[in-house]
Amino acid sequence: MSPPIVTRRSAQQAKIQTRAMASKSKGAAGATAATAAGVIGGGGGSSAGGGSGGISAADPRKANKPSAALLEAKRRARNMLKNQSNVMQECVTDIFQNAVDCKGAVRKPTALIYDESMSQHCCLWDKEHYECPERFTRVLERCRELNLAERCLELPSRSATKEEILRLHTEEHFERLKQTSGIRDDERMEDLSSRYDSIYIHPSTFELSLLATGSTIELVDHLIAGKAQNGMAIIRPPGHHAMKAEFNGYCFFNNVALAAQHALDVHKLQRILIIDYDVHHGQGTQRFFYNDPRVVYFSIHRFEHGSFWPHLQESDYHAIGSGAGRGYNFNVPLNAIGMTNGDYLAIFQQLLLPVALEFQPELIIVSAGYDAALGCPEGEMEVTPACYPHLLNPLLRLADSRVAVVLEGGYCLDSLAEGAALTLRSLLGDPCPRLVEVLPLPRPELTQALLSCIAVHRTHWRCLQLQRTYDSKELLDQEKAQTDLHKLLRLWIGGPPPVDRYPTRDTAIPLPPEKLARNAARLQVLRTETKLSLPAVRVCYSYDAQMLLHCNLDDPGHPEQPSRVQHIHKMHEEYGLLARMKQLAPRAATTDEVCLAHTRSHVNSVRRLMGRDPEELHRVAAGYNSVYLHPRTFDCATLAAGAVLQAVDSVLRGESRHGICNVRPPGHHAEQDQPHGFCIFNNVAIAAQYAIRDFGLERVLIVDWDVHHGNGTQHIFEANPKVLYISLHRYEHGAFFPKGPDGNYDVVGKGAGRGFNVNIPWNKKGMGDLEYALAFQQLIMPIAYEFNPQLVLVSAGFDAAIGDPLGGCKVTPEGYGLLTHWLSALAGGRIVVCLEGGYNVNSISYAMTMCTKTLLGDPVPTPQLGAVALQKPPTVAHQSCVESLQSCLEIQRSHWRSLEFVGRRLPAGDCVGENNNEDFLTASLRQLNISNDDAPGAAGGAAGDRNACGDERPSGSKPKVKALEQNEMFAVYPLKTCPHLSLLRPEEAPQSIDSGAACSVCGSTGENWVCLGCRLVGCGRYMGGHMELHSAEAQHPLAMSQADLSVWCYACSSYVDHPRLYAYLNPLHVDKFQEPMAWTHGCPRREDGCYPLGADGRDDDEDLAGSSGLCLRLERNN
């Protein structure tokens, strides 16, 4: 419940209450004194007593001393007033302070940093190398061609200092590159380059790498200091693959990671979001922050089950961070080529943006690789250049607009240059260009990866609770029905074998000529048809003081009063916004125009009210639901409708980018044939029909965020597929105005309009910024992008604003600004915001002002989105919000394919268990003690002694640390004993076990386990999960992996390493490798296999579960 706002009236009431309490106390005290006097005086005797201790009635001390009851009443009253004063101060700060603070805030410049010398870095021995100088020069050329660079604040480039580099890289790493500076010996440099994966070194590489890193840091410094609103670093060499002590993947120093660490160390930031949409996983950046909860690293990359470079298991979705950083690392692995705009938008809407909203970053850094763009031979994806602004746009109002975009990869020069230039254009505040092609729907491979990523993170993030869950027993019950249960799958294919020397020539593998020609033609069409021209006027403004004449003659205190629009207009003037907008000349809508949404009889009935006396008007109004009438109602209502039409004209004729309509009376409750709920004519409905009739539009989106359901708008368009109506409103199971079932989530339209009506009903009051933001990103925006509107109309009621006397919700003014910004990415920015309800004149004035400032491009404070509340258990309102969104998604997914996967249910509980290595490299290596001897069969031994890469190694061999570094295996700590070992009978173990046996339920051969209790073969949890189901049903907790000969205890949720298991492991080892398994335990081997249950087969209770023993999971690389 919102705390009360202290007003002059409430203060007066507090005074009256205080006086009443005091009078009551005085009366009670007087009665008590009189009674006491009568008893003591014996009735009619003198009041002067002769007893000791008596006090004369004339004693002035008695007359002046207040009673104890009166003092207590005053004390309680003072405390009450003090508490109300504290509430007032808190409310003023919470509701309006951010809006007040940004009164004079105007858009700061977009910073641009680059250095022409960066074109010197090139491969001297391979002129066809993908990482070429043209990547840099073509981007700059396109930015200048579009006149973008001249609109930016150009920052001078600078080199990073050694101290800055050593924040993350080793000194040896720094010196190794420094030694190459100026070396002109190509043969020597090529030899050195061959020691690193995908690297070439030029005589200028060291200096230019320092320049790239220093420029990135300089950009971040300017953003944090408030000297620029956002910015872009067009730099090379790229950086996100560079690791602590290793050059890798064209990268030498990790530009983005170093800038982030600089912000943490120097500027003391506590929350940084790094978004990496380069098509290659930025493993270097991930490793630097894998344990750091101050940095969320979010990567979207081609993976193909490890077969795509850099071929690392840590690039899969299950790598979620370690230690304090657990839950802060996100990988969305793309396991197929050809991913499109629809796939990337789904990732942003369903996962990235909800997490970003909850994380509340203070700085956002984008590792902007454009190798997922159409035509890139490396990525082979199909993201169009115009899609990149749509990915960036929703981020631009987070982190108080501190967004730094840093160039990484991209190897199709046309799509790279266009994508990077359009990104800079978006940073400059230009509307997102309309997507020329129909938005493809998310692919099944994306659905699988995205839901898996949500599943492993949902226990760490409150915003990821939309999907319902299931348990293992339900999976068994539902298996044959093929229902909506999402199953976690992990398939590891891996890449080529590791080598001592990497190729340095002919590394570019071009696409087939016919595909190159097809991509080039498609890019040319996209560039030609993508409209980038913009009207000079950003916002037009519709308002007419004549609309103030409509008022309630019987109740001057009626909520829908003229001061609503008057206060909004005044605040726009105080904020200096009116002078920056095009003022539209007022006009009344014609009868024909009003009749686009209403019956002629309704229009005539309202017209006939002109000049009627107040009593008759009151009698007529009583026949409607919540309506008052005035002799000038018809004039004001047609003026309001005409004002909205004026804004639509200005926007659709290309005279203005956006429109603001400060109008009344409101309209969205007005039905076709009668007024309703303070509304006379439906302004937005008339405007939508007008745009369809006069401008030939085929798709108009109406978003209604008024706290009351827009019953009139819904009924007018419920059978019209040209208008998509989306309403967020308080519903209370049909008990909230306008009441009834029409506002429920299952009302989706009629006939041809079925599916084009979306209701998001709130069944509890108290919804705030976080709840509205979740609804927008996970429901409204996906549907809107699939609909692809040509015009967006906002029924902008502000009665869901905090402080509204009718709404009971908590949306802040800056929250409305954020929602407006998100909607402005649609329809090429053609959006008209039209006032509906809202009855706290301060709330609606600040809210509409924030919407206007947003459309003018001014910085608006980032909503806190309940940052403090997120540290507490979810509120009843938030839980109800999740339930409403789940219900709505379930209904709408049958109409909108972009939501098809949202209704899938996820495994319950923590989904990262048996296959999550604590830290893929650093943490493991610090604690490992693995033999370095070069015994035959050991990884890293003589070449002739090694198994061929990809062949599984017998478990008795001794892998070196390098095996872990190369991701051939990973380390976890097994239990040294387990109480469930007592269930085994080693003397009855089978003499042979088929290592290739299929799952007895589904026939899978991907990742199977053998039950040690009954020898049943079942697939692992990342396939069908049948072994886990069998374990739960048969109470057989121990299972042995056919793949790597590890033993897992489902009851203990851990691996187990014990001599008693040898009797089961050895037969499987013989079948798999045609040789007995080596005995590696400290105790003597026994023929019967019946070892004591103590650790390592000892007959004691010593707990060595935390010892340095290891279970090495060996997985195939091919």
Going by C-alpha positions, the residue among 384, 195, 354, 368 that lies closest to residue 285 is 368
φ and ψ at 793, to 5 degrees? -115, 130
Question: Which residues neighbour 260 within 8 Å (Cβ) at sequence distance 6 or greater?
Answer: 220, 272, 274, 289, 295, 363, 365
Going by C-alpha positions, the residue among 783, 1067, 1072, 978 that lies closest to residue 900 is 783
* Residue 835 CB-density burial (10 A; 0-12 exposed, 13-18 middle, 19+ buried): buried
169, 173, 602, 669: the catalytic one is 669
382: which DSSP letter? B
* Residue 513 CB-density burial (10 A; 0-12 exposed, 13-18 middle, 19+ buried): exposed
783: which DSSP letter? H
Going by C-alpha positions, the residue among 131, 134, 184, 186 that lies closest to residue 408 is 131
Going by C-alpha positions, the residue among 161, 198, 211, 222 that lies closest to residue 280 is 198
Question: Which residues neighbour 886 within 8 Å (Cβ) at sequence distance 6 or greater?
Answer: 466, 468
Going by C-alpha positions, the residue among 729, 755, 754 that lies closest to residue 744 is 729
Using CA atoms, how far apart are residues 448 and 446, in angstroms rounded to an integer? 5
Cβ(252)–Cβ(170) below 8 Å: no
173, 241, 598, 676: the catalytic one is 241
Going by C-alpha positions, the residue among 77, 80, 188 that lies closest to residue 124 is 188
Q: Regarding beta strands 110-113 and 153-155, do their DSSP bridges make them parallel or antiparallel, or are they unpaired?
A: parallel
Angle at 820 between CA 100 and CA 551, to 5 degrees: 70
Cβ(317)–Cβ(350) below 8 Å: no
CA terminus-to-terminus distance, the chain: 59
φ and ψ at 310, to 5 degrees? -95, 20
Question: Which residues neighbour 569 within 8 Å (Cβ) at sequence distance 6 or greater?
Answer: 543, 578, 662
Going by C-alpha positions, the residue among 600, 589, 576, 595 that lies closest to residue 544 is 589
Q: Is 1069 a catalytic residue?
A: no
Query: Residue 811: beta bridge partners?
Result: 801
Cβ(456)–Cβ(909) below 8 Å: no
Buried b (16+ CB within 10 A) or exposed e, 116-148: eebbbbbbeebeebbbbeebbbbbbebbeebeb
Cβ(571)–Cβ(565) below 8 Å: no
| Type and span of the H or E element at 11 | helix 8-41
Using CA atoms, how far apart are residues 303 and 301, in angstroms rounded to an integer? 6
Going by C-alpha positions, the residue among 796, 822, 813, 804 that lies closest to residue 863 is 813
Helix, strand or coil for residue 7?
coil
Q: Is 669 a catalytic residue?
A: yes
Q: Which single residue is written with the structure tokens 């209502």?
A: 637
* Residue 998 CB-density burial (10 A; 0-12 exposed, 13-18 middle, 19+ buried): middle
Which tokens in the block code for residue 217? 């840091």
Q: Which amino acid is at 245?
A: A
Using CA atoms, how far apart are residues 692 and 565, in angstroms rounded to an integer? 28
Cβ(1043)–Cβ(1069) below 8 Å: no
Q: Among all residues, which ones are annotated catalytic?
A: 241, 669
